Each structure stands twice: as C-alpha cells, then as structure tokens.
C-alpha cells in the first residue's frame, strides 16, 4: 500500500488572487518579511500496489487527467509506503 501526497499549485505565470490576499493579510499583521504567498491544494491518496514506480506513474497519470489542470496548474507527487 502506498500513500501519495499530491500538491497542486497555480503555475508561476498564473496570477493567484487568493495568495495575494493572504499575503496582504500577513503583511497587515506585521510580517513584513513575507515575499510571496501561493495557494494550492493538498491531497492524500491511498492506493494498493507493490511497485513504487508503478504507483507513482499511476498517480501522475491521475494528476494529468483529473486532479490538476495542466493549463493553469503544476503538480508534485510524493509517495511513501504504508502498512496495510
């Protein structure tokens, strides 16, 4: 069994109005050192399988087909083996 942690964020070229709003809010709280905030999605996917590489390829396919929109988003996948 594997747990895949998928992180989806807007591409750098896409303006992120939510991130900007949070950035402003942090600044108004006094955190002047904050340079940038990007918002995204975090998903944890539990899947059956024996081979880590195979599972990783599968999750990446899920990302490109459904979980992320390649027009506007980038994704990162991290896999760890978990006890059943």
Write out the residues near other proteins by the rule CB under 8 A: 10, 13-15, 17-18, 21, 66-67, 69, 71-72
Of 6 and 79, which has the nearer Cβ to other proteins?
6
Provide CB contacts within 8 A for 57, sequence distance 6+.
none
Nearest CB to other proteins, comparing residues 14 and 82:
14
**1, 48 in Cβ contact below 8 A?**
yes
* Cβ-based nearer residue to other proteins, 52 or 72: 72
Cα–Cα distances in angstroms (integers) from residue 64 to residues 22, 45, 69, 74, 76, in the given order? 28, 15, 7, 9, 11
Least Cβ distance, residue 13 to other proteins (angstroms): 8
């Amino acid at each position: 069994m594997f747990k895949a942690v998928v992180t989806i964020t807007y591409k750098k070229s896409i303006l992120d109005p939510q991130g900007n709003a949070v950035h402003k809010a942090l600044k108004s709280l006094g955190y002047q050192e904050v340079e940038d905030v990007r918002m995204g999605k975090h998903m944890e996917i539990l899947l059956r399988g024996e081979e880590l590489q195979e599972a990783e390829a599968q999750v990446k396919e899920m990302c490109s087909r459904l979980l992320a929109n390649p027009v506007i988003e980038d994704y990162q996948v991290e896999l760890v083996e978990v006890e059943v």
